[in-house]
């Protein structure tokens, strides 16, 4: 899909307490209240006259701010990017120029295409993975406001990274690549310890001594929060037949919710499996995953100490 671009982005709150979020998103519209503001005056561009639609006791500055928001809804061109938030995701769209008034006197514009909650690569735009600077628009007390973080927003929607972020991401990849020879040269017991540390850094607790828990299980781990129990087998070298044998052996998964098979030196067939795993119950970790998790869990220093 062709990358999107826009010179302006606006956040819109779809109704008080989000009352129109579902209907607008499912119906592919953007919707505005201001029931007492004349649709005819707005279409005619008679914005000063719309002041009469507000109570005479209203603060002049407040009325101006409300009119400006209504005016943006009516006059923003079709290349303005609109965003909102719903179900823990950022959603975005472009809107057609025509403004229509519904029977309840709310106003709508149809979207060009649909509301999307993913980037152009299909990755969900989950709020937890977005900058707080962008999320800050949610605290806007009005209905429509400008999005200051436009460049960042466009990068997120296009599935690209800002230059400084891309540089950092490249550095992380280089670090992971540099760690691979170190991981590959680990003694089998050190590989087991690394795997144990990765899980422990993620909150898992051992239920016994590593390597002495049960035959064919190196790590018997428990989540203290969910009480989920998993089994881990660590091999310095392995092939697809070895993995399939363990998979068959633990097919009933008695007492365990998942089984992890970890190796730093898989054969080509087993390595191919890492890229197309089709089971949540049997998980394979190869060199790439070990290097990624070592960096993510702050184990770079530990690995360097083992190599030096």
DSSP reduced 3-state for 279: coil
Is residue 39 pLDDT above 90, yes or no? yes
Asked whether 219 and 229 are in contact (CB, 8 A), the reply is: no
Q: What is the pLDDT of residues 115-151, one digit of tens each?
A: 999 999 999 999 999 999 999 999 998 899 999 999 9
Q: Where are the domains of the chain?
A: 9-158, 167-307
Residue 9's pLDDT is 97
Name the band, by pLDDT with cuts 50, 70 and 90, for residue 164. Answer: confident
Q: What is the pLDDT of residues 183-204, one digit of tens each?
A: 999 999 999 999 999 999 999 9
Would you state the structure tokens that stand for residue 19, as one six-digit string? 């009352």
Q: DSSP state, 126?
A: B
The torsion defined by the Cα of 245, 251, 256 and 259, in degrees rounded to 10, comes to: 40
pTM reported for the whole predicted model: 0.71
Q: What is the pLDDT of residue 72?
A: 96
Query: Tell me, what's the pLDDT at 218?
Result: 86
CATH no., domain 167-307: 3.40.1350.10
Examine the pLDDT at 273 and tell me if it is beyond 80. no
3-state percent breakdown (helix, strand, coil) of the chain, nearest 5: 40, 25, 35
Greater model confidence, 111 or 245: 111
What does the pLDDT read at residue 28? 96
What are the backbone angles phi and psi of residue 115, rounded to the nearest 5°?
A: -70, 135
Q: How many CB atoms lie within 10 A of CB 258?
A: 17
Quick one: which H or E segment has residue 93?
strand 89-95
pLDDT reported for residue 58: 80
Query: What pLDDT is recorded for position 65?
Result: 93
pLDDT tens for 281-295 read 888 899 999 999 999
């Amino acid at each position: 899909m062709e990358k999107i671009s826009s010179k302006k982005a606006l956040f819109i709150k779809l109704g008080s307490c989000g009352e129109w979020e579902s209907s607008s998103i499912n119906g592919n519209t953007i919707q505005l209240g201001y029931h007492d503001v004349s649709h005819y005056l707005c279409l005619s561009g008679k914005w000063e006259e719309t002041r009469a639609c507000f109570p005479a006791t209203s603060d002049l500055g407040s009325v101006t701010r409300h009119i400006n928001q209504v005016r943006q809804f009516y006059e923003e061109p079709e290349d303005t990017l609109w965003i909102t938030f719903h179900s823990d995701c950022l959603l975005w769209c472009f809107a057609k120029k025509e403004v229509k008034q519904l029977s309840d006197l709310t106003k709508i514009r149809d979207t060009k295409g649909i509301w999307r909650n993913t980037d152009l690569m299909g990755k969900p735009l989950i709020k937890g993975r977005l900058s707080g600077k962008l999320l800050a628009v949610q605290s806007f007390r009005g209905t429509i406001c400008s999005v200051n973080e436009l460049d960042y927003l466009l990068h997120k929607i296009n599935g690209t990274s800002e230059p400084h972020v891309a540089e950092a991401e490249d550095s992380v990849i280089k670090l992971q690549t540099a760690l691979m020879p170190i991981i590959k040269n680990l003694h089998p017991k050190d590989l087991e310890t690394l795997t144990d540390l990765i899980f422990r850094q993620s909150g898992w607790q051992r239920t016994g001594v590593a390597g002495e828990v049960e035959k064919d299980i190196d790590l018997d781990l428990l989540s203290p929060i969910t009480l989920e129990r998993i089994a881990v087998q660590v091999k310095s070298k392995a092939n697809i037949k070895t993995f399939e044998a363990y998979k068959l052996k633990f097919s009933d998964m008695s007492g365990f919710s998942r089984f992890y098979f970890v190796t730093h030196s898989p054969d080509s067939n087993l390595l191919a499996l890492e890229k197309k795993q089709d089971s949540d119950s049997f998980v394979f970790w190869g060199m790439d995953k070990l290097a990624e998790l070592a960096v993510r869990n702050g184990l770079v220093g530990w690995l360097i100490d083992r190599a030096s």
